[in-house]
Amino acid sequence: MIKKRASVVDTNENHVQEKDTIITDKGPTIGCRHVQAILLFFAFFFGLGSRTNLSVAIVAMTDNTTSPNPDVPTYNWTNTSVMLSAFFWSYISLQILSGYLGKRYGPKYFLLVTSIINCLAVGLIPVAAKISSYGVIVCRVVQGLAQGFLDPSIHVMLGTWIPNEEKSTLCNFIFAGIFSGTIFTSVLTGYLSTSWLGWPWSFYILAMLNFVWCIFWGIFGQNSPATHPRITKEEKKYIQRSLQQEVEDKLPTPWLQIFTSVPFYATMAGYIGVILGHTLLTTEIPTYLAKVMNFKLKENALLNTLPTLAGALVGLATGPLSDWIIVKGYLTRLNARRMFHVLGSFGGALFYVWLSFLNSSQPYTSVVLITLGSGIFSLVLAGSNVNHLDLSPKFAGITFGILSSAGGIASTFPPLLVQWIVLDQTSTDQWRIVFLASAGFYVAGALIFYFFASASRQPWDGPEEKDAEERN
């Protein structure tokens, strides 16, 4: 039984509220869409794990007291911030193209081939380090090129596989792979770096595990419900009706309409704020804890997992809560997106401001604040992070490619900001400027998103029946 989407007008508040399609026959309890979600979870898990691994390993790579094994190499590098940001130089260059190619030809094999390249680049970092820091930079640039296909390809999959009724739930489950991969990498790298094996094995093991994922993806990954050989008719109909994509089409990309869309730019502003905060957390907080709060590497790695764990748990809870609020009609989709994004951004900013006024005698207070800030900040996963799917499920890969390009450029900023401002890594005054600037970015992005965002499917997404505009 299928109930069609309806619009209910509340004349007292002068806004239109969208009632979601309710489809009772969704196919198997664990369907093909869930298998794809699990595969995409691990795509983010290993992709982000290998992306952030260097942030923890760099401490051991430049400290000859970390491992008890004297044969583990260490280096006297002064350009570590450049090494950390090098990934994003190439990462941003392929975002739009990869989204377009994924939309036009399907993302499966692009994601497979580039993931294999990423495995090779990660595994070669210890070898390249023996040459010079520039060898590591080259590997990071190759990683960036390979992972330039990761996020847009996954978002193409989200636009074709995730029904509207389960959007926040399944998307946030998949996004939890980002947090979980970071947690796993921090613990693994911290443990191995202080063991006899040393930091090189953190790169080798991540490369091997990522390659195992590539095998599973090659076997079970599918571009869409329409091309899946084993999906049931009920599940296929459920997904296609929910996304209004019962006809497989090859629409031309509406580039002009996308680049002149005010709601899309509002989503971009919110997303950039999110990226700036996440990049600072994953790339620079380990250094802050080590140099200002004087945590040892193994302890640092373990403590650094707490903010990520908090973010993952809040993110997993936020998805079902957001979907429930929308389906029950307590908030329109637009106001739900606004609420979660503003609460997450302002909450995260508040904890960064508080953190900026701590000193080295308050190490565990800093960990608590970073953990709480990361947890509440993860509310944004039900805000701007899924909003582009509201605007255009058909062109989700392309729109996210544009967002990710902007985010990739923004991602180069936190490491460089730290390098410019934090001339003395033990100075709390210099770190205060970094944290206050980050809080300002959170707030600015959230305000733009609140006032200019939309949650309606845009006219340029295709000729199907359009959703009613949600207003407040």
pLDDT along the chain (472 residues), means of 10: 40 38 65 94 94 88 88 88 84 85 91 96 96 94 94 89 85 87 88 92 96 96 91 89 63 89 95 82 77 77 77 86 90 94 94 90 89 89 87 86 83 80 87 88 93 92 51 40
Encode burial over 53-74: b for 16+ CB neighbours within 10 A, e otherwise: bbbbbbbbbeeeebbeeeebeb
**pLDDT of 134:** 93
CB 271 within 8 A of CB 403: yes
Q: What is the dihedral of CA 324, 325, 328, 331, to 10 degrees?
A: -160
256 Cβ neighbours under 8 A, 6+ residues apart? none
CB 438 within 8 A of CB 278: no
Cα distance between residue 293 and residue 54, in whole Å = 20
**pLDDT of 2:** 42
Q: Is the dihedral of CA 137, 114, 99, 184 positive or negative?
A: negative
Cα distance between residue 361 and residue 212, in whole Å = 44
**pLDDT of 378:** 87
In the chain, the amino acid numbered 63 is D
For the record, the structure tokens of 461 come out as 């997404």
**pLDDT of 66:** 85
**pLDDT of 250:** 64
260 Cβ neighbours under 8 A, 6+ residues apart? none
- How far is CA 266 from each of CA 150, 252, 276, 387, 388, rounded to the nearest angstrom? 23, 24, 16, 10, 10
At residue 16, the 3 state secondary structure works out as: strand
Q: What is the pTM of this model?
A: 0.74
**pLDDT of 406:** 87
CATH number of 28-242+254-461: 1.20.1250.20
Nearest to 430 by CA among 293, 314, 288, 298: 288
187 Cβ neighbours under 8 A, 6+ residues apart? 301, 302, 305
pLDDT tens-digit series, residues 273-302: 888 877 776 677 877 888 888 887 667 667
Number of residues written out for the chain: 472
Phi and psi torsions of 215, nearest 5°? -65, -45
**pLDDT of 11:** 33
Name the CA radius of gyration of the chain, rounded: 22
